Amino acid sequence: MGSGAAAGSVRTRYLVYFQYLGTDFNGVAAVRGAQRAIGVQNYLEEAAERLNSVVPVKLTISSRTDAGVHALSNAAHLDVQRRSGQPPFSPEVLAKALNTHLRHPAIRVLQAFRVPSDFHARYSATSRTYLYRLATGCPQPDQLSVFEQNRCWALRADSLDVAAMQEAAQHLLGTHDFSAFQSAGSPTTSSVRTLRRASVSPDLPSPFVLPQESRATLWAGAGLCPRCHRCLSLQEVAVLEPGVREPVIPVQTGGLCPGASQGQGRGSGHCGSLSLGLQVRRMTAVLVAVGLGALTPAQVKMILESRDPLGRHQTRVAPAHGLFLKSVLYGGHGDLGKRRWPGKGPVCTH
């Protein structure tokens, strides 16, 4: 792959997929210095030290996630430079070694693949898919299944007006400046994106709720544990100005939407760029406000057109613990599994 600093040593670049429950972490990015907070990257790089690379291993994360946000599949690239005469690790050995030396049970390496030396986990990505999970019918936090705590947003309301949410989401379709859903002072170079699709569809009930739990739940309103779950998917494409180095990211919908727990659960799958995580939470909060009757679909259009991240409705942010980064994809068609790097065999079957 590329020549290393040590004579005769060879540097090999790998793409690594990994997942984590974000509850215990200050986000995915490494926290440097003497702070007590720690990121997922800290644990991954600590495990990578055991690979005995000639040059210390540093990960380049594809998609940053905030404190409390989870990932079903995030990605990163790393370089391993073995000593002269030692062959590169196979991807399988690398993934197994990292898992062996990981010291936190909430992190797991899924797969690893050899990639060209100019591959970049962030800039080579073609899509990132986010999923937001909600559960309705939870007047008290302790009415949420213990298996779902810190994994979804528990709402007191027994139901949401899905038709109104669908109508509101339609206003977000097309190419727009989504500044209204960004943080004030966001460093993002362009807030113009194209939202291609929005839909609400049924999903399976949660496997973490037993029938006896449903019967014993004393919630007000009709339906103790509706068997209906919904998935709101938004399909988005990043539109960049000429000369900007940020990646152009065609975004695919979140197809898998794990059902929320007790009550009527809904997950919203949003897809987008590196900066979309907080936008997903803001958009979700506004759509939930519509579902609760606090906003009208027409007001969502007004919020979008305002381009004002400081508007009074833009203070709504869905909790971090309901957000999941579902996938990061690579390749011309958004599926790295269909792409083969010259001379390297299949890079990814993810």
Residue 133's DSSP bridge partners are: 267
CA atoms within 13 A on the CB side of 285: 19
Q: Are strands 174-177 and 60-61 parallel, antiparallel or unpaired?
A: unpaired
Separation of alpha carbons 26 and 201, rounded Å:
33
Per annotation, catalytic residue among 66, 161, 177, 335: 66
Whole-Å CA distances, 121 to 218, 310, 328: 48, 32, 9
Length, in residues, of the chain: 350
153-156 LR contacts (CB < 8 Å, sep 24+):
153/288, 153/318, 153/319, 153/321, 153/322, 155/263, 155/288, 155/292
Which of 168, 350, 172 shows the shortest CA–CA distance to 276? 172
Find, among 236, 240, 244, the residue nearest to 269 by Cα: 236
Contact 205, 265 (CB under 8 A): yes
Distance CA 48, CA 292 (A): 47
Does residue 308 have an active-site annotation?
no
How many angstroms separate the CA atoms of 288 and 282, rounded?
Answer: 10
Residue among 101, 88, 121 at smallest CA distance from 46? 101
Choose among 283, 323, 319, 317: nearest CA to 303: 283
**Catalytic residue set:** 66
